[in-house]
């Protein structure tokens, strides 16, 4: 540091502090502010900062109540309450996605600066998605926390906390990539139910999620090249080792190709179902 020059705040401690934030609206706003600060040069990327995991990550509100996935009821989107429950489930995914991206930023030291920039961008876009869905949910007479939810995304994040290769393989390009397949059928149901505003929000989410999964694919491939690993051969081993959820079709192959999946990976995906 040059004497007399102001120091620039560091990105990774700021991302960890934001991950610890429990209030959803505050977390979303702080995440978007971090992304804007990084773009403007008001945050410094700090790959080598030593950080330790505090207890009770991530910060989250008392509600929604978290229950096993098979205890979250499925409801028809063709009733007002069912449509609210469906949108709440997607809103919960987007809230968790903020946490997943922030965790990638703070947890993994020693990566290129582009890694941290990519995942903070993802976090900022997930914060926008959450905010759009929550605002729409409020127009339906509900709010985030009104329905039970499950914790599958964060549990896989915690399981891969010690292994960046597994994290990139199993969170963005496995669990989050499921959204590429699920979104168009959900949009069709919402369109039929007459909720064009929700359809438009999901258009934004699907467009951005292709980019997010592409970032996961890029860094998984980069790490495999760095470590001398065969990315396609390793992936099924990681799926088995970490008991990743079995993916079911139909698959949005066009979106998956746009996100960088190879034809070999797509063939394995189809054959494994």
Output the six-digit token pair for 190: 């919402």
Counted domains in the chain? 1
Considering only CA atoms, which of 27, 126, 145, 128 is closest in space to residue 84? 145
**54 lies in some domain:** no
pLDDT score for 3 = 44
Output the six-digit token pair for 167: 């994290």
Range of the domain at 32: 11-43+69-271
Least confidently predicted of 95-104, 105-114, 187-196, 263-272: 263-272
pLDDT score for 74 = 80
User: Does the structure show a pLDDT above 80 at 6?
Assistant: no
> Are 248 and 273 within 8 A, CB to CB?
yes
Least confidently predicted of 126-135, 227-236, 239-248: 239-248
The Cα–Cα gap between 22 and 133 comes to 18
pLDDT score for 27 = 98
**252 lies in some domain:** yes
pLDDT score for 247 = 87
Query: Looking at residue 99, which CATH number applies to its domain?
Result: 1.20.1260
Segments in the chain forming alpha helices (H): 11-20, 24-40, 80-107, 113-139, 152-159, 164-170, 178-192, 196-227, 231-241, 253-258, 263-271
How do residues 110-120 score in pLDDT, each as one tens digit?
999 999 999 99
Phi/psi for 41 (5° steps) reads 85, 10
How do residues 48-107 score in pLDDT, each as one tens digit?
999 999 989 999 999 999 998 888 878 788 999 999 999 999 999 999 999 999 999 999
User: Does the structure show a pLDDT above 60 at 227?
Assistant: yes
């Amino acid at each position: 540091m040059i004497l007399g020059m102001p120091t620039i705040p560091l990105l990774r401690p700021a991302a960890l502090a934001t991950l610890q934030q429990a209030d959803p609206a505050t977390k979303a706003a702080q995440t978007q502010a971090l992304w804007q600060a990084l773009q403007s040069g008001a945050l410094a990327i700090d790959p080598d900062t030593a950080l330790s995991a505090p207890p009770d990550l991530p910060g989250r509100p008392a509600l929604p109540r978290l229950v096993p996935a098979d205890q979250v009821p499925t409801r028809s989107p063709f009733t007002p309450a069912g449509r609210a429950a469906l949108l709440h489930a997607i809103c919960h995914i987007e809230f968790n996605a903020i946490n997943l991206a922030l965790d990638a930023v703070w947890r993994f030291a020693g990566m290129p600066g582009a890694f941290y920039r990519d995942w903070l961008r993802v976090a900022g876009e997930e914060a926008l998605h959450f905010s759009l869905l929550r605002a729409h949910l409020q127009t339906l007479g509900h709010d985030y926390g009104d329905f039970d939810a499950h914790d599958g995304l964060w549990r896989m994040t915690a399981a891969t906390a010690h292994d960046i290769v597994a994290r990139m393989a199993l969170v963005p390009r496995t669990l989050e990539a499921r959204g590429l397949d699920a979104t168009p059928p959900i949009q069709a149901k919402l369109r039929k139910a007459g909720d064009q505003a929700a359809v438009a929000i999901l258009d934004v989410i699907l467009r951005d999620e292709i980019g997010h999964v592409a970032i996961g694919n890029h860094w998984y491939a980069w790490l495999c090249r760095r470590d001398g690993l065969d990315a396609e051969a390793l992936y099924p081993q990681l799926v088995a080792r970490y008991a990743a959820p079995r993916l079911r079709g139909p698959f949005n192959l066009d979106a998956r190709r746009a996100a960088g999946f190879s034809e070999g990976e797509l063939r394995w995906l189809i054959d494994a179902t």
